[in-house]
Amino acid sequence: MQDRSTDFEFLPIDVSFDRCLRYYEQLGVASFAKANNTTSFWTSFNFRKRKRGNPTVSLLTTSFSVSEWGVNNFATTSGTIVNSYLTNNDAVYVQLGGFTGTSAGTTGTVTSTFGVSNGLDPIIAFNSEL
């Protein structure tokens, strides 16, 4: 057995980043959201990289929107996670709460609040760290 550590292994940034994504990632815009009652929307997020285990889901901000483009914009500053579950190893369903004025069946796109980055800031984190 060696009595000293091995030399540091230099890896290309893209390889290191890819490996990091197995443990943690942040995502912003979700592809689709559908209201299932007056206060919450179901949406799904696809991981860029499969996680090492079922991740903890947490919000990075309580301010985000669901936009029915050209029709309505449902914004909240007190957003919550109501529920979530892993649909397969590569995606998770998340129920986002804290909205008002929606009705079951309303659809739209989840984004962070517009202004700083045109709504493209990440809003949610998936943590599967050891």
Partner 1 sequence: MYKFPQLMPNQTEPSCILRTTDGACIPFDLANRDYQEYLKWLEEGNTPLPADEISE
- Can you give the binding site for partner 1, defined by CB under 8 A? 36-39, 52-59, 80-86, 94-95, 104, 127-130
As measured in angstroms, the least distance from the Cβ of 53 to partner 1 is 3
What residue type is assigned to position 41 of the chain? F
Minimum CB separation of residue 85 from partner 1 in Å reads: 4
Comparing CB distances to partner 1, the nearer of 11 and 19 is 19
Element (H, E) at 76: strand 72-76
Closest alpha carbon to 35 in 114, 124, 110, 122: 110
**Which one, 19 or 52, has the nearer CB to partner 1?**
52
Contact between residue 67 and residue 118 where contact means Cβ atoms under 8 Å apart: no
Rounded distance, CA 44 to CA 36, Å?
14
The 3-state DSSP class for residue 16 equals: helix
- Residue 68 Cβ vs partner 1, minimum distance, rounded to whole Å: 20
User: Which of 29, 86 has the CB closer to partner 1?
Assistant: 86
CB of 86 to partner 1, least distance (A): 6
